[in-house]
Amino acid sequence: MSNKPFFYQDPFPLKKDDTEYYLLTSEHVSVAEFEGQEILKVAPEALTLLARQAFHDASFMLRPAHQQQVADILRDPQASENDKYVALQFLRNSDIAAKGVLPTCQDTGTAIIVGKKGQRVWTGGGDEAALARGVYNTYIEDNLRYSQNAALDMYKEVNTGTNLPAQIDLYSVDGDEYKFLCIAKGGGSANKTYLYQETKALLTPGKLKNYLVDKMRTLGTAACPPYHIAFCHWRHLGGSEPEDR
């Protein structure tokens, strides 16, 4: 029998969030008291408004830190003329998209929302529906492509015409905050996703690095730039079950 003491830890701890946020509205939220504790009450309208704005911003704007990295290429002495040309086109594209008419990319993606709801946050239920309406409003009201198909039977499918359904995953956590991660996942990332099953012999720093670089070169340029590359490891590399990723 093990004598190790019980210890619980969030399996996916994140470092400090340095994201710059802005106030969308102070409406649709209030504070009440229940059994001596303050409760944050959030109306469905707040969730709809938040989802609508999140996917609008994701479709038409990129964060300043990302834009700065692209701009730095123009002053990088090691950058080629082609590098600088491509970086300049990125910035010009972002300038056009920021006007809110033409999105950054025509592949406006599958709407994915991951929410972590504190136990002292009350909404009255129906969170998924309220968030989905926000996604619906974005794609209906903005100039965004509808990318979702629904199966009619084993062989036929039809575009839903609203970009729904969205993937919405909500989790219960401690505290009095309701946090959201909103992602517009384009199809290019799925087209460039690969699964490789290897042996333990690969798990040395030198072999693994060369292996990853070699696989990275196979990505090519078919998906929309700029790329953000991620390596997801399964259990034999210390990772989690696929369902948790």
| pLDDT digits 0-9 by tens, 151-164 | 999 999 999 999 99
Q: Based on the domain organization, do 102 and 164 belong to the same domain?
A: yes
The residue range of the domain holding 228 is 192-245
Q: Based on the domain organization, do 231 and 129 belong to the same domain?
A: no
Q: Based on the domain organization, do 110 and 229 belong to the same domain?
A: no
Residue 220 in this model has a pLDDT that exceeds 80 = no
Q: pTM, whole model, 2 decimals?
A: 0.84
Residue whose token pair is 């609203």: 162
Q: In the chain, how many domains are there?
A: 2
CA–CA separation, 144 and 235 (whole Å): 38
Q: Based on the domain organization, do 41 and 106 belong to the same domain?
A: yes
Q: Based on the domain organization, do 143 and 229 belong to the same domain?
A: no
Q: Based on the domain organization, do 171 and 235 belong to the same domain?
A: no
Q: Based on the domain organization, do 151 and 109 belong to the same domain?
A: yes
Say what the pLDDT of residue 67 is.
94
Domain boundary among 137, 166, 186: 186
Q: Based on the domain organization, do 116 and 230 belong to the same domain?
A: no
Q: Based on the domain organization, do 117 and 34 belong to the same domain?
A: yes
- Tell me if 215 is assigned to some domain: yes
- Tell me if 208 is assigned to some domain: yes
- Tell me if 81 is assigned to some domain: no
- Tell me if 149 is assigned to some domain: yes
- Tell me if 228 is assigned to some domain: yes
Phi/psi at 184 (5° precision): -100, 100
- Tell me if 85 is assigned to some domain: no
Task: Select the more confidently predicted residue: 205 or 128.
Answer: 128
**What are the CB-based long-range contacts (under 8 Å, 24+) for 90-97?**
90/225, 90/226, 91/67, 94/61, 94/62, 94/67, 97/59, 97/60, 97/61
- Tell me if 242 is assigned to some domain: yes
Residue 101 in this model has a pLDDT that exceeds 70 = yes
Q: Based on the domain organization, do 114 and 212 belong to the same domain?
A: no
Domain boundary among 186, 216, 237: 186
Tokens for 12? 């996916």
Q: Based on the domain organization, do 230 and 116 belong to the same domain?
A: no
Domain boundary among 166, 186, 206: 186
- Tell me if 232 is assigned to some domain: yes
Average pLDDT over residues 97-104: 94
- Residue 38: pLDDT band (50, 70, 90) is very high
Q: Based on the domain organization, do 196 and 175 belong to the same domain?
A: no
- Residue 192: pLDDT band (50, 70, 90) is confident
